[in-house]
């Protein structure tokens, strides 16, 4: 019922407002940039780095607003109810926007409802153990896990999140069973790992990079080795076709006119292609990317196809 109301509301607002709104005048007033996570987090940091450049490129003020909760779902549920006139945009995160509606059933929004503007940051996911761990390589880990199903504990952030999906996919590919222990966020999972409460950790590249002196990364979910840590092998290189990362981008409400999105896309892509921004990302342990509207849409659809069977299989 609520969904029906939301769709009706969105449609009626679209009808009422796409008429008089002249796309050539966009933007003519402040734009709200919603962050679906808590202040101080990575999404917030990126947005703050982008803010001055966005304001310069678009010529209007960009107001950052926080709407955290549900791993981002509260913010995205809010996004799809906003007017599709380009004055309200939100950060988006993959795999979140794909997995949440899929796994939860009532996340408050559907993946197709979000209109992607651009994807500008990739955070590869890696699997790590402590430096003093008995596992020297991925092969060691899988060998042990095969003989002792369920005995190996892997920490990660969240359930039905990027880490969880990577864990499930890897288990399937290697034919082993390990125990996934979800934590409420990246920071608690890293803390638990450093304290020895879990034997292995699925983590984001920037966290792994930060603690690289204390840990051994067994593999990264990228195609090519992760630039700031080139000595770490990829999963692909070790025989597992596992590509796992958390990607950040920006999106707009459904039915936002293409001309409006184009303006925003250009602004975001210009920032994403700026060498200074790119260097900054690499320094912090992220991978800069610059995917526009079409590329992002295709990427999201690909991920939907890739993960739907995994979710179906493991969701009891």
Partner 1 sequence: MFDAAISGLGHVFEIQNFLFLFIGVSMGIIFGALPGLTATMGLALLVPFTFTMSPTSGLIMLAGIYVGAMYGDAIPAILINTPGTPAAIATTFDGFPLAQKGMAQHGLVAAAIASSYGSLVANIVLATAAPPLAEASLKFGPPEYFWLGIFGLTIIATLSSGFIIKGLLGGAVGMMLSTVGMAPLGGDVRLTFGYPELQAGVELIVALIGFFCLPEILSSVIGQRRESYSSEKVVPRLSVIGEVTLSLLKKPFLMLRSAGIGTVIGFAPGAGGNIASMVSYNEACRWDKHPEEFGKGTIKGVAASEAANSAMAPGSLIPLLTLGIPGSPPAAVILGALMLHGMRPGAELFSVHAPVTFAFIMGLLVAALLVTVIGTIGSFIYARIINIPARLLAPAVVFMTILGSYSIRNNMLDVWIMFLFGVIGYASNKLKFHPAPIVLGLILGPFVEEGLVQSMLAGGAAGGVLPYMIFRPISGVLIALCLMSAFWPLFASWRAKRQPKKDACRTEDETDA
Partner 2 sequence: MLNSDLIIGFFSLGLSGLIFAVTRHLSRLGGVFINYLLVIIVFFALIMLIKGFIRPEKLAFFESRVERNNVLIGLIILFVYLSFMPMAGFLPSSFVFYACFNLYLAEDRWSRKNILQSIGLSAVVVTVFYLMFHKVLQVPLPTGSWFE
Q: Which residues bind partner 1 (CB under 8 A)?
A: 1-2, 38-41, 44-45, 48-49, 51, 64-71, 73-74, 77-78, 103-109, 150-153, 158-161, 164, 179-184, 187-188, 190-192, 194-198, 210, 283-284
Question: Pick from 6, 51, 159, 238: which binds partner 2 (CB under 8 A)?
Answer: 159
Q: Which does 316 bind (CB under 5 to 8 A by kind): partner 2, partner 1, none?
A: partner 2
Which token pair is 266? 């250009």
Partner from partner 1, partner 2, none binding residue 210, C-beta < 5-8 Å depending on class = partner 1
- Of the two residues 299 and 314, which places its CB atom closer to partner 1 in the complex? 314
Can you list the pairs that 300-307 forms with residues at least 24 positions away whose Cβ atoms lie under 8 Å? 300/94, 300/97, 300/98, 300/111, 300/116, 303/94, 303/95, 303/98, 304/98, 304/102, 304/111, 307/95, 307/98, 307/99, 307/102, 307/165
Closest to partner 1 by CB, 137 vs 159, is 159
CB nearer to partner 2: pick between 65 and 148: 65
Q: Which is nearer to partner 2, 8 or 139 (CB)?
A: 8
* Under rule CB under 8 A, residue 7 binds partner 2: no
Q: Which is nearer to partner 2, 147 or 316 (CB)?
A: 316
Residue 160 binds which entry of partner 2, partner 1, none, CB below 5-8 Å type-dependent: partner 1
* Shortest CB 216 distance to partner 1, Å: 18
Residues in contact with partner 2 by CB under 8 A are 32, 63, 65, 159, 316
């Amino acid at each position: 019922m609520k969904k029906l109301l939301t769709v009706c509301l969105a449609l009626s607002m679209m009808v009422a407002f796409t008429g008089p709104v002249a796309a050539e005048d966009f933007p003519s007033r402040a734009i709200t940039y919603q962050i679906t996570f808590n202040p101080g987090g990575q999404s917030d940091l990126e947005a703050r780095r982008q803010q001055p450049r966005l304001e310069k490129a678009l010529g209007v003020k960009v107001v950052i607003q926080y709407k955290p909760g549900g791993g981002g779902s509260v913010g995205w549920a809010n996004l799809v109810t906003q007017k599709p006139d380009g004055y309200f945009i939100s950060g988006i995160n993959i795999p979140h926007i794909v997995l949440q509606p899929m796994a939860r059933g009532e996340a408050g929004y559907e993946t197709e409802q979000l209109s992607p503007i651009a994807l500008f940051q990739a955070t590869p996911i890696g699997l790590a153990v402590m430096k003093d761990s008995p596992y020297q390589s991925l092969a060691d880990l899988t060998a042990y896990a095969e003989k002792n199903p369920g005995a190996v504990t892997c920490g990660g952030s969240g359930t039905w999140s990027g880490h969880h999906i990577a864990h499930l996919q890897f288990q399937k590919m290697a034919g082993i069973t390990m125990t996934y222990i979800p934590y409420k966020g990246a920071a608690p999972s890293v803390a638990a790992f450093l304290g020895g409460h879990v034997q292995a950790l699925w983590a984001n590249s920037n966290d792994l990079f930060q603690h690289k002196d204390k840990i051994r990364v067994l593999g990264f979910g990228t195609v090519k080795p992760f630039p700031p840590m080139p000595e770490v092998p990829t999963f692909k290189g070790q025989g597992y076709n596992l590509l796992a990362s958390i990607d950040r981008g920006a999106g707009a409400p459904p039915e936002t006119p293409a001309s409006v999105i184009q303006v925003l896309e250009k602004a975001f892509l210009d920032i994403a292609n700026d060498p200074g921004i790119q260097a900054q990302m690499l320094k912090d342990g992220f991978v800069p990317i610059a995917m526009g509207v079409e590329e992002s849409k295709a990427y999201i659809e690909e991920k939907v196809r890739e993960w739907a069977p995994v979710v179906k299989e493991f969701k009891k």
